[in-house]
Amino acid sequence: MERKFLVAEPPSWLGDHPSEEIEQGYLAVGTNHEVRLRRSDGEELVLTVKTGHGEERGEQEIELSRDQFEALWPLTEGRRVHKRRHRVEGEPTLEVDVYLDGLEGLVTAEAEFPSAAASHEFDPPDWLGRELTDEPGYANQRLALHGMPG
């Protein structure tokens, strides 16, 4: 269970939280699935298959060797996002993505929940803005393919 929010004004304390640089590229995108590569801080190399959309999604990950990742990465040309992810610990932990390059200026936050009930009980802090969970234009795959939503 995930919920996503727009962060219009990132809090001044955001940089005090642990963060990592993420490069994500999409190998395949369908109406109900995506296959992506992710490089985190230049070290963690993962192939991920996600199914579903919105609040409930399935996810499978496989770690890749550097050679495997480098062989596949060129296939994502033109379908990538680059961001810095900050982890704001709490209940729930919030992952705040500050987008870079062509998406600079966009900041979103995601929260994961163990159940639909927990998701619906969440009272977002004031610094989280409009909810984006059901807005497909803000999904990372759409951002990679089409850029900033109009």
Nearest to 72 by CA among 64, 61, 60: 64
Rounded Cα gap, residues 77 and 80, in angstroms: 7
How big, in percent rounded to 5, are the helix, strand and coil portions of the chain?
A: 20, 45, 35
Given 1, 3, 19, 26, which residue is catalytic?
Answer: 26
Could you tell me if 86 and 96 are in contact, meaning their C-beta atoms sit under 8 angstroms apart? yes
Is residue 26 annotated as a catalytic residue, yes or no? yes
The dihedral sign for the CA sequence 85, 55, 53, 131: negative
Give the catalytic positions in this structure.
26
